[in-house]
């Protein structure tokens, strides 16, 4: 890890930890009250994002002029958008566009894919959408982009190699797709961060759930946007056919990754307490599973 990313990380950690301990955001004195979670239903991905981010305080709340924005969708599989194994391309396209409109200097999009990466980027439709919107697709399958970092608050995953853009980004936005997952039950925000590290096998070998929670302590995404437009209900995370999906037409966003995952799990129809990495992340102070303590905004379109 270079000094720059170390400093940035430290600052992030301090802010994150401080905010969690003080029961943010109420104590951030002059800041206006934004919802902790905004949930939308019934619209197209672009519309839902526009309305949702407006409720969250607008894209300018997260992106300042000339900042580098990194958007991390799930592009794990060489499958078409209607299979819902990857994040919706229209949503990503709109997020890139909004980031640039807010004055972002550069918008990068990447994932460390499971299938052959160029095919995933193509078939998911994300490469096309990002290019169209003026963003940059970055390869995630090349070792030299990964840097070794220490994860100070981790129980198991004390060190890991993470993508340099994840480490260096001014603004990091996590955009998973909500889907069934064969080994962890559900994959949402925190699980999606496995796509910014190099050696996932290590996680699988050394208590997967704990590693997911451990890594979530490293850098809390500035915003977690969970795509639930089309949802893979069974046979996840890849899915076998379109029959495995349902059209839910929903979107969730939150600055608290644990709260975002909790709400998404409920929306999916699953008890969040059944997913052990969520509890572990809450115990590490990443966020809260107690939705009743949060300011939630629900929007029907």
Binding positions for other proteins, rule: CB under 8 A = 39, 41, 78-79, 106, 108, 114-116, 118-119, 123, 136-139, 141-142, 144, 181-184, 200-202, 204-210, 233-235, 237-238, 240-241, 243-248, 250, 262-263, 266-267, 269, 276, 291, 296, 298, 300
CB of 37 to other proteins, least distance (A): 9
* d(C-alpha 215, C-alpha 230), whole Å: 27
CB of 201 to other proteins, least distance (A): 4
Q: Whose Cβ is closer to other proteins: residue 16's or residue 226's?
A: 226
Cα–Cα separations (whole angstroms), residue 98 to 75, 105, 126: 20, 12, 16
* d(C-alpha 290, C-alpha 296), whole Å: 12
- The strand pairing partners of 41, in sequence order, are 250, 300
Q: Whose Cβ is closer to other proteins: residue 17's or residue 207's?
A: 207
CB of 286 to other proteins, least distance (A): 19
CB of 101 to other proteins, least distance (A): 20
Q: Whose Cβ is closer to other proteins: residue 53's or residue 114's?
A: 114
Cis peptide before 237 (omega within 30 of 0): yes
Q: Whose Cβ is closer to other proteins: residue 16's or residue 79's?
A: 79
DSSP result, 156-191: S--EEEEEHHHHH-SEEEEE-EEEEETTTEEE-HHH
Closest CA to 53 of 222, 194, 198: 222
At CA 110, angle to CA 159 and CA 242, rounded to 5? 110
Q: Whose Cβ is closer to other proteins: residue 16's or residue 140's?
A: 140
CB of 167 to other proteins, least distance (A): 15
* d(C-alpha 50, C-alpha 91), whole Å: 10
Q: Which residues of 58-82 are buried (b: 16+ CB within 10 A; e: fewer)?
A: ebebbbeeebbbbbbbbbbbbbebe
- At which residue do the structure tokens 């940059």 appear? 136
Q: Whose Cβ is closer to other proteins: residue 219's or residue 238's?
A: 238
The count of other CB atoms within 10 Å of the CB of residue 175 is: 27
Q: Whose Cβ is closer to other proteins: residue 130's or residue 220's?
A: 130
CB of 275 to other proteins, least distance (A): 10
Q: Whose Cβ is closer to other proteins: residue 173's or residue 267's?
A: 267
Cα–Cα separations (whole angstroms), residue 78 to 75, 89, 117, 188, 241: 8, 13, 8, 19, 13
**29: Cα separation from own chain's centroid:** 27
CB of 203 to other proteins, least distance (A): 8
CB of 15 to other proteins, least distance (A): 26
């Amino acid at each position: 890890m270079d000094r720059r990313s170390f400093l940035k990380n430290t600052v992030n950690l301090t802010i994150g930890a401080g905010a969690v301990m003080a029961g943010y955001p109420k104590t951030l004195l002059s800041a206006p009250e934004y919802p902790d979670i905004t949930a939308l239903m019934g619209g197209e991905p672009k519309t839902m994002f526009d309305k949702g981010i407006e409720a969250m305080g607008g894209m300018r709340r997260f992106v300042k002029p000339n900042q580098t924005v990194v958007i991390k969708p799930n592009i794990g599989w060489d499958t078409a958008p209607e299979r819902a194994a990857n994040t919706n391309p229209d949503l990503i396209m709109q997020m890139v566009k909004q980031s640039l409109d807010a004055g972002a200097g550069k918008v990068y999009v990447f994932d460390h894919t499971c299938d052959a990466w160029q095919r995933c980027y193509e078939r998911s439709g994300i490469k096309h959408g990002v290019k169209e919107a003026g963003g940059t697709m970055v390869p995630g399958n090349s070792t030299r982009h990964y840097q070794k970092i220490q994860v100070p608050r981790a129980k198991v995953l004390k060190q890991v190699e993470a993508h340099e853009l994840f480490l260096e980004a001014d603004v990091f936005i996590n955009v998973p797709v909500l889907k069934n997952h064969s080994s962890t039950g559900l994959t949402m925000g925190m699980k999606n961060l496995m796509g910014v590290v190099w050696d996932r096998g290590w996680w699988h070998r050394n208590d997967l759930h704990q590693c997911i929670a451990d890594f979530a302590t490293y850098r809390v995404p500035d915003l977690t946007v969970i795509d639930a437009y089309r949802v893979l209900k069974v046979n996840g995370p890849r899915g076998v056919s379109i029959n495995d999906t349902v059209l839910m037409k929903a979107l969730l966003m939150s600055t608290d990754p644990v709260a975002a995952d909790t709400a998404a799990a409920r929306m999916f129809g699953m008890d969040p307490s059944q997913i052990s990495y969520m509890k572990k992340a809450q115990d590490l102070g990443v966020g809260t599973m107690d939705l009743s303590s949060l300011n939630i905004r629900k929007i029907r379109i």
